[in-house]
């Protein structure tokens, strides 16, 4: 799917294509690149062309690029549509808590990292030297895959292709040649990556050789994993990658209750204030919308955070509150009973739940019970979460709910897209790519030399564009030119997505979100003549 910002870049030249297809190019010893036809297939040769003419054509395209106005900025508070969504049909608004209503400061990543690191030493008896390893805040991005057999962190695109330059063992990237030696192919077989949809995340770990780290809580986990790997490599300590992965995951996850207690003690240290959240809830209530909360977090943690964000009366806005829901099981299982939480004794009651009452806190249960007891069904429900799988996949695929994704990193991504230097590079990259494809079928003694110069310039541009998002892994949403595996799932399971839930205040409760008409590869010329 190409969004508005992509169309603006594409529109810069009538010659544009998304990329030179990798099957058309061969990298020769020494790093030179040549096209398939220069090796012997000249049946479709366009004729001869000189270096001088090629350089003139380059200058013409360069002048055309300089004359183009830069695309307009993307709205930082925008809501972006993957699927048409008419809010007039929505009567019920549902919310996850963590990274949906409550967004955290970087201090929480440091806390989870430090707690997990200490747990590795105390519980699993990892070397004391690990205590000196500090969290690297800008190292990883979410949506990466970890190969639990090979011990590699890597980035895949929507076609399951490895993005070269983003395969890391520890803190160092693997050379492209080493990646190809390990995987035999740039494309990863689907069975290597994806478990059948019905399996839980834990089951998926046993059925696939790669696991995707798709939520923001996994970012410090990836940082710890790579730091410890680097420590083992640097100190020549033998280790098993899968054991390390499981120890790190279990350490970080087992520290969540400790993290909950520390956040409750000093909520302003870890939670970002959003003064618009109460106003957003007020508007929904004013328009007679029902609201519910389904979260995996415990009540005392949610209660403290919501009082900080909204006020002591936050529960008055919600018709149903369910904590410790154990998503995605909440959305996939059918037999787990709802239980009532006793706030005074801080325990669960054994009473049978036959109706859902406002003001009562519930635990566990299933989405079937929620729907049966409320009558909230299908497209009248819009549920917001930050995780494409545990929050959004099942409710849209199995229950027909509409979905909204809260992607906090979108703020950084859009700010980068709006940078004039980025816009210039992105536009020139597209025009240069078109120039390369337009000239690769000519003959002449210097054709390949000039093409190599252009391809090297293109490689340099692509790497610069990648690094401005994240030095190691680039954009959460793109590889060099394709959407990432994370983007593919996000666009599949979310009707709309945004950086903050309160971005919806920019739109009325009767607004219709329309996805932009994406330009397919065969449509470029017809759109931009």
Show binding-site residues: 96, 98, 386
> What is the 8-class DSSP label of residue 483?
B
Residue tagged 């205040």 (tokens):
505
End-to-end CA distance of the chain: 21
Calpha distance 298→244 (Å, rounded): 28
Calpha distance 499→497 (Å, rounded): 7
SS3 108: helix
Catalytic residue of the set 41, 86, 96, 495: 96
109 is a catalytic site residue: no
Sign of CA dihedral 166, 168, 171, 176: negative
Closest CA to 419 of 70, 89, 129, 90: 70
SS3 131: helix
Catalytic residue of the set 41, 98, 118, 147: 98
Structural contact between residues 297 and 101, judged by C-beta atoms closer than 8 angstroms: no
Residues 6+ positions from 449 with CB-CB distance below 8 Å: 51
What is the Cβ-side half-sphere exposure of residue 506, based on CA atoms within 13 angstroms?
Answer: 13
Binding-site residue set for Mg(2+): 96, 386
351 is a catalytic site residue: no
Residue tagged 């470029």 (tokens):
524
**DSSP string of 93-158, one letter each residue:** EEE-SBTTTB-B-HHHHHHHHHHHHHHHHHTT---GGGGG----TTS--TTEEEETTTTEEE-BBT
Binding-site residue set for GMP: 98
Structural contact between residues 451 and 433, judged by C-beta atoms closer than 8 angstroms: no
Sign of CA dihedral 72, 415, 491, 81: negative
Question: Catalytic site residues?
Answer: 96, 98
């Amino acid at each position: 799917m190409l969004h508005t910002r992509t169309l603006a870049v594409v529109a810069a030249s009538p010659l544009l294509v998304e990329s030179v297809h990798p099957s058309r190019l061969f990298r020769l010893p020494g790093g030179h690149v040549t096209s398939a036809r220069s090796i012997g297939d000249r049946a479709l040769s366009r004729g001869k062309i000189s270096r001088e003419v090629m350089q003139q054509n380059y200058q013409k395209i360069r002048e055309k690029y300089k004359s183009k106005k830069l695309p307009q900025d993307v709205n930082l508070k925008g809501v972006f549509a993957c699927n048409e969504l008419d809010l007039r049909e929505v009567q019920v608004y549902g919310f996850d808590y963590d990274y949906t209503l409550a967004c955290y400061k970087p201090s929480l990543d440091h806390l989870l990292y430090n707690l997990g690191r200490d747990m590795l030493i105390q519980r699993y008896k990892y070397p004391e030297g690990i205590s000196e390893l500090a969290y690297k805040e800008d190292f990883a991005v979410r949506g990466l895959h970890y190969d639990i057999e090979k011990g590699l962190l890597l980035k895949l695109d929507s076609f399951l292709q490895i993005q070269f330059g983003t395969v890391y063992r520890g803190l160092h990237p693997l050379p492209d040649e080493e990646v190809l030696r390990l995987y035999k192919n740039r494309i990863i077989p689907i069975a290597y990556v994806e478990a059948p949809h019905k399996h839980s995340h834990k089951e998926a770990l046993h059925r696939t050789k790669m696991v995707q780290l798709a939520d923001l809580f996994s970012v410090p986990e990836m940082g710890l994993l790579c730091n410890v790997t680097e420590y083992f490599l640097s100190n020549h300590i033998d280790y098993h990658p899968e054991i390390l992965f499981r120890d790190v995951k279990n350490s970080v996850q087992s520290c969540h209750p400790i993290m909950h207690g520390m956040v409750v003690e000093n909520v302003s240290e870890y939670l970002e204030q959003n003064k618009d959240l109460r106003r957003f809830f007020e508007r929904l209530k004013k328009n007679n919308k029902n609201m519910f909360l389904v979260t995996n977090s415990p009540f005392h943690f949610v209660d403290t955070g919501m009082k900080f964000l909204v006020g002591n009366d936050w529960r008055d806005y919600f018709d149903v509150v369910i904590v410790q829901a154990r998503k995605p099981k909440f959305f996939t299982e059918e037999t787990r009973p709802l239980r009532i939480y006793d706030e005074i004794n801080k325990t669960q009651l054994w009473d049978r739940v036959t109706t859902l009452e406002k003001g009562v806190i519930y635990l566990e249960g299933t989405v079937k019970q929620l729907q049966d007891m409320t009558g909230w069904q299908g497209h009248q429900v819009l549920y917001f979460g930050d995780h494409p799988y545990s929050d959004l996949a099942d409710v849209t695929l199995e229950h027909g709910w509409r979905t909204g994704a809260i992607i906090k990193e979108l703020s950084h991504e859009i700010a980068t897209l709006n940078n004039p230097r980025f816009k210039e590079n992105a536009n020139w990259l597209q025009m240069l790519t078109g120039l390369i494809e337009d000239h690769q079928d000519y003959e002449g003694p210097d054709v390949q030399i000039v093409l190599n110069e252009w391809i090297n310039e293109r490689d340099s541009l692509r790497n610069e564009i990648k690094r401005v998002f994240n030095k190691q892994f680039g954009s959460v949403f793109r590889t060099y030119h394709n959407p990432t595996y994370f983007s593919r799932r996000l666009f599949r399971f979310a009707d709309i997505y945004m950086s903050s839930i309160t971005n919806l205040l920019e739109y009325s409760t009767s607004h219709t979100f329309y996805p932009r008409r994406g330009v397919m590869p065969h449509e470029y010329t017809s759109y931009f003549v």
